[in-house]
């Protein structure tokens, strides 16, 4: 079983928990995800199954979109609602325009300090492991990009938002830093990922829906059609001869796509067999091969 399936991750599970459940459901060892979600967060979690795990390299810098709630009045040690409060709780009554003006300072390319409870590595060890053991360590700010950050509502101590960010951006840190600017503390109360790269909530299925589909032997009906994957790359449908060359890792001539740097190569309408890279002129070489050459009697 090979493909991409989008899970609407529930709160309370890690991304790895979801991967393990899907491995068990599909009886498929090769399952991975294209972008971690914190246990608190819900929403779009793309999973790559079977030989499609080789596509993960194309999604390491994928843009994400989120909706969520920032709770002002106190910070937490994890920067979200799962952590322990830091400092006394303050009474807050937010003004919409005030929060919107503050949010404007976080748009664009900024320096951001990752949360102490994060997967950032300190001498090869994830920061959250050190934080849990209460060991001292120093994180360094990193450059991130917040392309859109809109405050939708602000009432009492809570503000709702919508954001579009580059890979590596922590909305938990945004919430924490906004609380520091306000002088009252804040943390991320809830977060829902609404999109990652070309995948959105409209593509997503719950774990229960996937389980039912597996029972009905129709799990692949929930997979994203391969021609929708990596939409910026042109598609080419290979002949039998071209498919054989591609599957065996050899170059092929694709004159109609001579200007493209990379292309998706299909056998038929729905079998994605390779991502090929132009090496010279109209010659393309498979960067990754997603299927082996079928064995035939005359080979």
Q: Are 191 and 42 in contact (CB under 8 A)?
A: yes
At 282, the pLDDT band (50, 70, 90 cuts) reads: confident
Answer yes or no: are the C-beta atoms of 44 and 230 closer than 8 Å: no
> Residue 63 to residues 59, 111, 167, 198, 267: CA-CA distances in angstroms?
9, 18, 6, 9, 29
**What is the bridge-based pairing of β-strands 262-267 and 235-237?**
parallel
pLDDT top residue among 50 and 281: 50
If you average pLDDT over residues 222-231, what whole number do you get?
Answer: 96
Domain boundaries in the chain? 3-62+198-224, 67-188, 229-289
SS3 at position 38: coil
| Dist CA 13 CA 44 (whole Å) | 13
CB atoms within 10 A of CB 141: 11
How is domain 67-188 classified at the CATH fold level?
Pseudouridine synthase (3.30.2350)
pLDDT at 140 over 90: no
What DSSP assignment string belongs to 104-140? Answer: HTTSEEEEEPPPSSSS-EETTEEHHHHHHTT------
Residue 295 banded pLDDT, cuts 50, 70, 90? very low
| Better pLDDT: 23 or 117 | 23
Q: How far apart are CA 131 and CA 117, in angstroms?
A: 6
Tell me what pLDDT residue 141 has. 87
Closest CA to 257 of 282, 232, 274: 282
Which member of 8, 17, 38, 80 is catalytic?
A: 38
How far is residue 158's CA from residue 100's CA, in Å, rounded to a whole number? 13
Mean pLDDT of the chain: 91
Nearest to 267 by CA among 287, 290, 285, 283: 290
User: For position 294, what pLDDT does the model report?
Assistant: 47
Q: Please indicate whether the domains covering 3-62+198-224 and 67-188 agree at the CATH topology level.
A: yes
Q: What is the DSSP string of 242-265?
A: HHHHHHTT--EE-GGGTT-SEEEE
Q: Which fold has domain 229-289?
A: 2.30.130
For 36, residues 6+ apart whose C-beta sits below 8 A from its C-beta are 15, 119
Q: What's this model's pTM, rounded to 2 decimal places?
A: 0.90
* More confidently predicted of 113 and 288: 288
* Phi–psi pair at 136, nearest 5 degrees: -75, 135
Q: What is the pLDDT of residue 138?
A: 67
Q: Is 38 a catalytic residue?
A: yes
In the CATH hierarchy, which fold is given to the domain comprising 3-62+198-224?
Answer: Pseudouridine synthase (3.30.2350)
């Amino acid at each position: 079983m090979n493909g991409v399936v989008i899970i609407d991750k529930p709160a309370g599970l890690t991304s790895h928990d979801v991967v393990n459940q899907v491995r068990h459901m599909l009886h498929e060892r090769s399952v991975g995800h294209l972008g971690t979600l914190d246990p608190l967060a819900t929403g779009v979690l793309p999973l790559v199954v079977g030989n499609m795990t080789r596509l993960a390299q194309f999604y390491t810098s994928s843009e994400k979109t989120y909706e969520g709630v920032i709770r002002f009045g106190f910070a937490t040690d994890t920067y979200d609602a799962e952590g322990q409060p830091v400092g006394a709780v303050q009474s807050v009554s937010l003004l919409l325009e005030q929060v919107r003006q503050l949010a404007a300072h976080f748009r664009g390319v900024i320096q951001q300090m990752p949360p102490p409870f994060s997967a950032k590595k300190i001498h090869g060890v994830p920061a959250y492991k050190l934080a849990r053991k209460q060991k001292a360590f120093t994180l360094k700010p990193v450059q991130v990009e917040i392309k859109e950050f809109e405050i939708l509502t602000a009432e009492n101590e809570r503000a709702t938002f919508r954001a579009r960010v580059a890979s590596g951006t922590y909305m938990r840190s945004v919430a924490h830093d906004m609380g520091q600017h306000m002088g009252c503390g804040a943390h991320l109360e809830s977060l829902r990922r609404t999109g990652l790269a070309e995948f959105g909530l409209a593509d997503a299925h719950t774990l229960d829906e996937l389980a039912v589909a597996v029972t009905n032997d129709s799990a692949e009906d929930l997979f994203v059609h391969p021609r929708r994957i990596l939409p910026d790359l042109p598609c080419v449908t290979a002949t039998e001869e071209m498919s054989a060359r591609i599957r065996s890792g050899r170059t092929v001539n694709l004159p109609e796509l001579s200007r493209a740097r990379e292309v998706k190569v299909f056998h038929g309408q729905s079998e994605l067999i390779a991502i090929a890279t132009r090496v010279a002129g109209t010659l393309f070489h498979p960067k990754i091969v997603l299927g082996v050459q079928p064995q035939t009697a005359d080979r």
